[in-house]
Chains A and B, each alone.
Chain A
Amino acid sequence: MIIDLQKFIAAEQPFWNELEQVIARQEQDPYRRMSFDEIRRLHYLYQRASADLAKIDTYSAELSMRLYLESLVGRAYSFIYGAQQETVRFRPWQWFWRTFPQAFRRRWRAFALSLAVMLAGGVFGSAAIIIDPEAKAVLMPFEHLQMDPAERVAKEESGANEKRLGEGKTTFSAFLMTHNTRVSIFVLALGMTWGIGSVLLLFTNGVMLGAVVADYLRVGQSAFLVGWLLPHGAVEIPSILVAGQAGLLLAGALIGGVAAKPMGERLRAVVPDVVTLISGVALMLVWAGLVEAFFSQYHEPTIPYAAKIAFGSVELILLALFLRYSGRREIGLAVRRRLLGRWRKRQ
Chain B
Amino acid sequence: MKPGVATAARTHVRTIRTPEGVSFSLPLAGPVSRCLAWLLDALCLVAFAKAVQVVVALTGFISQDLSQAITMLLYFLFYLGYAMALEWYWNGQTVGKRLFGLRVMDVRGLRLRPSQIIIRNLLRAVDSLPVFYLLGGAVCLASRYAQRLGDIAANTIVVRSAKVAVPRIDAVLAENRYNSLRAHPHLAARLRQQATPVEADAALQALIRRDSLDPEARVALFAAMARHFKDKVAYPEEALAGISDEQYVRNVVDLIFRR
Contact = CB atoms under 8 A, between A and B. Distances in A.
Interface string B141-168: 0000000010011110000000011110
A42 to B, nearest CB: 14
B179 interface: no
Contacts of A81: 1, 3, 18, 108-110
A69 to B, nearest CB: 8
B193 A1 contact: yes
Chain B interface category by residue count: 35 or more
A7 B259 CA distance: 8
Interface string A52-90: 011001011111110110110110011101100100001
Contacts of A188: 122, 125
A4 B109 contact: no
Contacts of B169: 5-6, 9, 62, 65
Contacts of B210: none
B200 A2 contact: yes
B91 interface: yes
B65 interface: yes
A67 B164 contact: yes
Contact of B111 (A13, A30, A174, A268): A30
Given A30-B111, A62-B167, A185-B125, A77 B18 contact: yes
Contacts of B115: 271-272, 274-275
Interface stretch (B22-30, B34-42, B217-225, B226-234): B22-30
A120 to B, nearest CB: 23
Interface in B50-78: 63-66, 68-70, 72-73, 76
B141 to A, nearest CB: 17
B170 interface: yes
A248 to B, nearest CB: 13
A63 B201 contact: yes
Contact of B69 (A27, A30, A60, A174): A174
A59 B122 contact: no
Interface of A: 1-2, 4-7, 9, 13, 16, 27, 30, 47, 50-51, 53-54, 57, 59-65, 67-68, 70-71, 73-74, 77-79, 81-82, 85, 90, 167-171, 173-175, 177-178, 181-182, 185-186, 188-190, 192-193, 197, 250, 254, 264, 267-268, 271-272, 274-275, 278-279
Interface of B: 1, 3, 16, 18, 20-26, 63-66, 68-70, 72-73, 76, 91, 105-111, 113-116, 118-119, 122-126, 149, 152-155, 164-167, 169-170, 173, 192-193, 195-198, 200-201, 204-205, 256-259
28 contacts: A1-B193, A4-B259, A5-B257, A6-B170, A6-B173, A9-B166, A9-B169, A50-B20, A54-B20, A54-B22, A59-B197, A64-B167, A78-B106, A85-B113, A168-B65, A170-B65, A170-B69, A171-B72, A175-B72, A177-B73, A178-B72, A186-B126, A189-B122, A192-B152, A264-B107, A271-B153, A271-B155, A279-B118
